[in-house]
């Protein structure tokens, strides 16, 4: 009998893993790949050109039975994935709102993956909780938010995945407050109250979604009229609340937006807050993109009245150089939030929780488990410093102001909404179809990518400026491209 061939020996479990040396080598190559990508991303067509199914058809129908080397994975990133990417980190990306990212943030995310901790309880990794609490207290000061949102008062902040989740949590706490806790205990149907929420017609769609998820019913969301600047009309809000009270319904929640998604409109938070306080309604403030601007004292008036709010959120993953996902959610009364979401099974009991001296962030959002997301936020703040972040916000707002002035100087175009910060809403003076065709030509060029909205029934182009590496030359090139495409109309 021939001796067993050592090359067909079954691998031991330890042999199956990537060795430390392989990890180092592949890790360095991966970081090099990312650095090179970020260097060349501005030369790539911004909007992906693949058709539905193209990416999948380039993938094998069956998974590999045996190990494939790292180099082969990387080849497929270039061959299969790259053509299917829209380059959100391109400085020629001006669509939607930014999802900007940065070196320190990528490193924080990498470290979070490397540590692999699960921060559901303080006890499951105390640093994961305490760094987060501490950095979010810093942010209260950095954004000029009210002290009631600090963990050292009765409030506090928590990182959520998205603004959508924050809005949902705010709605749930408000529901509990309005029903005296009965909606959690007995269910909404037993509460004998039809709860009604309010927001403007420009409010982000995540609120309608939250109404559905919370079992409150989308039909019980009132969309309040806006003024000429697309900001909520407080007088109309007051009227709607009165009408609903007369009809025997129970108003309970208002969402005000600082920087609406369509046009960056800023709701009159103070006037809305005064109504909410008088009527005892929960006020949630959604500042998903624009909250970042308050890093600069000169833009801090956008937060006027926020001290009247029960909750507030903004997304460092939009405009503060922190990789998706990172939304920051503050409440003024953390006990109410925790009461709404806590359930304590035996297997999670521990001395620290029982002592009441710690935050268990699992009680502050929907999921149980949580990553160490504070690392990327902490690294970003340490890399740029408050002054660096302020300088970049000012740079982006100045670029938007320049773009606006160029649009105004070309009488084929019009500005359709005020520009408080870094979003310019504009259109060709012409039909919706002409504007739609213009946008299609601009985006087909691959040289820039913008998206659109509708304000009233007008089709509007949005120039959203917040990319990490955007410079004046990119904005200028985009404007030249838009003008050139308009000439071919």
Ligand X SMILES: *Cc1c(COP(=O)(O)O)cnc(C)c1O
Residues forming contacts to ligand X in the complex (CB under 6 A) are 97, 162-164, 204, 206, 257, 259-261, 286, 288-289, 315, 327
As a whole number of angstroms, the distance between CA 320 and CA 296 comes to 12
- Give the CA diameter of the chain: 94
Closest approach of Cβ 290 to ligand X, in Å? Answer: 8
In this structure, are residues 450 and 435 in contact, taking their beta carbons and an 8 Å threshold?
no
As a whole number of angstroms, the distance between CA 6 and CA 130 comes to 51
**Whose Cβ is closer to ligand X: residue 90's or residue 162's?**
162
Closest CA to 302 of 418, 416, 408: 418
Closest approach of Cβ 328 to ligand X, in Å? Answer: 11
**What is residue 191's three-state secondary structure?**
helix
As a whole number of angstroms, the distance between CA 18 and CA 15 comes to 8
**Whose Cβ is closer to ligand X: residue 122's or residue 198's?**
198
**Whose Cβ is closer to ligand X: residue 288's or residue 381's?**
288
Closest approach of Cβ 299 to ligand X, in Å? Answer: 16
Closest approach of Cβ 380 to ligand X, in Å? Answer: 17
**Whose Cβ is closer to ligand X: residue 212's or residue 429's?**
212
**Whose Cβ is closer to ligand X: residue 331's or residue 428's?**
331
As a whole number of angstroms, the distance between CA 251 and CA 281 comes to 7
List 423's β-bridge partners, or say none: 464
**Whose Cβ is closer to ligand X: residue 92's or residue 164's?**
164
Closest approach of Cβ 105 to ligand X, in Å? Answer: 16
As a whole number of angstroms, the distance between CA 239 and CA 242 comes to 5
Closest approach of Cβ 317 to ligand X, in Å? Answer: 7
**Whose Cβ is closer to ligand X: residue 206's or residue 340's?**
206
Residue 142's H or E segment, with its range, is helix 126-142
In this structure, are residues 404 and 424 in contact, taking their beta carbons and an 8 Å threshold?
yes
Q: Is the peptide bond before 325 cis (omega within 30 degrees of 0)?
A: yes
In terms of phi and psi (left: phi > 0; alpha: psi -120 to 50; beta: otherwise), the region of 61 is alpha
**Whose Cβ is closer to ligand X: residue 358's or residue 450's?**
450
Closest approach of Cβ 318 to ligand X, in Å? Answer: 6
As a whole number of angstroms, the distance between CA 292 and CA 302 comes to 10
For the record, the structure tokens of 411 come out as: 């009488």
Closest approach of Cβ 450 to ligand X, in Å? Answer: 16
Backbone angles phi, psi at 276, to 5 degrees: -60, -40
**Whose Cβ is closer to ligand X: residue 377's or residue 428's?**
377
- Is residue 192 exposed (0-12), middle (13-18) or buried (19+ Cβ within 10 Å)? exposed
Closest approach of Cβ 326 to ligand X, in Å? Answer: 9
Q: For Cα atoms 203, 48, 209, give the angle at the middle one, nearest 5 degrees.
A: 25
């Amino acid at each position: 009998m021939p001796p067993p061939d050592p090359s067909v020996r079954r691998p031991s479990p330890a042999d199956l893993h990537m060795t430390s040396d392989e990890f180092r080598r592949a890790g360095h190559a991966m970081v090099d790949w990312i650095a090179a990508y970020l260097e060349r991303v501005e030369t790539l067509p911004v909007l992906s050109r693949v058709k539905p199914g193209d990416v999948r058809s380039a993938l094998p129908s069956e998974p590999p039975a045996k190990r494939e080397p790292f180099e082969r994975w990387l080849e497929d990133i270039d061959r299969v994935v790259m053509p299917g990417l829209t380059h959100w980190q391109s400085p020629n990306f001006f669509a939607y709102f930014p999802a900007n990212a940065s070196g320190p943030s990528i490193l924080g995310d990498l470290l979070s993956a490397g540590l692999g901790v699960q921060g559901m309880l303080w006890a499951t990794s105390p640093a994961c909780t305490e760094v987060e609490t501490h950095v979010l207290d810093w942010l209260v000061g950095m954004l000029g938010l009210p002290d009631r949102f600090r963990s050292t008062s009765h409030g506090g902040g928590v990182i959520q995945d998205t603004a959508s989740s924050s809005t949902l949590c705010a709605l749930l706490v408000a529901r509990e407050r309005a029903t005296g806790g009965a909606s959690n205990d007995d269910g909404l149907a037993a509460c004998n109250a039809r709860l009604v929420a309010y927001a403007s017609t420009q409010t982000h769609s995540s609120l309608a979604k939250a109404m559905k998820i919370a079992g409150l019913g989308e039909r019980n969301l009132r969309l309040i009229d806006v003024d000429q600047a697309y900001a909520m009309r407080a007088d109309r809000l007051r009227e709607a609340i009165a009408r609903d009270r007369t009809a025997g319904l129970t108003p309970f929640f208002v969402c005000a937006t600082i920087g609406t998604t369509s046009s960056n409109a800023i709701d009159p938070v103070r006037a809305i807050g005064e109504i909410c306080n008088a009527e005892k309604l929960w006020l949630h403030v959604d500042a998903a993109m624009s909250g970042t601007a308050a890093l600069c004292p000169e833009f801090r008036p956008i937060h006027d009245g926020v001290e009247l709010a029960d909750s507030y959120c903004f997304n460092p993953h939009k405009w503060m150089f922190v990789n998706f996902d990172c939304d920051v959610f503050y409440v003024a009364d953390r006990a109410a939030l925790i009461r709404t979401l806590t359930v304590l099974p035996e297997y999670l009991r521990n001395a620290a929780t029982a002592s009441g001296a710690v935050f268990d962030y699992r009680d502050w959002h929907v999921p149980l488990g949580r990553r160490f997301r504070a690392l990327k936020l902490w690294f970003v703040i340490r890399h740029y410093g408050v002054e660096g972040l302020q300088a970049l916000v000012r740079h982006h707002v100045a670029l938007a102001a320049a773009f606006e002035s160029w649009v105004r100087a070309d009488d084929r175009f019009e500005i359709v909404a005020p520009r408080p910060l870094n979003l310019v809403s504009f259109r060709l003076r012409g039909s919706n179809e002409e504007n739609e065709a213009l946008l299609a030509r601009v985006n087909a060029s691959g040289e820039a990518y913008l998206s659109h909205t509708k304000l009233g029934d007008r089709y509007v182009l949005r120039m959203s400026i917040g990319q990490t590496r955007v410079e004046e030359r990119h904005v200028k090139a985009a404007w030249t491209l838009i003008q050139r495409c308009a000439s071919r109309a």
